[in-house]
Amino acid sequence: MDVNLAVLIDGDNIPSAYVKEMMEEIAKYGNPTIKRIYGDWTNPRVSKWKHILLDNAITPVQQYGYTQGKNATDSAMIIDAMDILYSGKVNGFCLVSSDSDFTRLATRLREAGMQVYGIGEKKTPNPFIVACDKFIYIEILKNSSEEEEESDGASDQPKGKKKTKQNVDKITTKEVRWISNTIQDVADDEGWAFLGDVGSLLQKKQPNFDARNYGFQKLTPLISSIKDFEVERREDSKGRNKLIYVKIKEKRKTKAGFRK
């Protein structure tokens, strides 16, 4: 079944530079049938959005700031979201904001059986992130866009010019630990776990988990880059595809009895 999504964008709280990449990312999860952006369009601060809206068929919703210093778009987004929920026209929502004020909205939509995707900057507070089924950082969409630009312009790039440093996270012992715990949760008696099951459970445990946060396009190369894990490719029963399994490497004991 096709998933119809309502995309609601907080124009006061999200950068406009990567809307094209953002909409391409949303299309991976469903069909964005409703696309609205909220803001005070009389304010010159959001004028940079205006030329982008027609190109991406996003409907602007005017919301005046009735009180100075207060964000008026939050209540307008929440009211519209509940109207759309009860209309029965969509199966899920994509809330685009870095504002924790939408935490309760995301929770309420999930309680109603909706799939909820969040998109925002890395500064987004954790309560909003964990309230979503999946949360995507805008920074990784920015990295992907820059990679494509570098690839397209590689022949024109002057010699000796360095590429822009990507904004990616380092894999620490904390990530290795919870990936290990997840493998153990779904592993068979021999310690092997189907990587698809591992990825699904990681997403449920940590909605903002994404291999792209660490500079990898997919989960398989990320897991393969960690020396603590062993990856094995197997033929499926029909011999058409390779199934990828992962296992935690056993620690070898030295003669002194210490583990390597």
Q: What is the pLDDT along the chain (260 residues), one digit of tens a residue?
A: 578 999 999 988 888 888 889 999 999 999 999 999 998 888 777 778 878 888 899 999 987 765 554 456 788 899 999 999 999 999 999 999 998 999 999 999 999 999 999 999 999 999 999 999 999 999 998 766 555 555 445 444 444 444 444 567 889 999 999 999 999 999 999 999 999 999 999 999 999 999 999 999 999 999 999 999 999 998 877 666 789 999 998 875 444 444 44
**Per-residue DSSP letters for 116-184?**
EEEEE-TTS-HHHHHHSSEEEEHHHHHHHHHHHHHHHTGGGSPTTPPPPPP--PPP-HHHHHHHHHHHH
Q: What is the DSSP letter of 29?
A: T
Cβ–Cβ < 8 Å for 209, 203: yes
The rounded distance, in Å, linking the Cα atoms of 32 and 4 is 6
The rounded distance, in Å, linking the Cα atoms of 173 and 178 is 9
pTM of the model: 0.81
Residue 201 corresponds to which tokens in the numbers above? 């459970």
Domains along the sequence of the chain with CATH: 4-143 (3.40.50.1010), 173-248 (3.30.420.610)
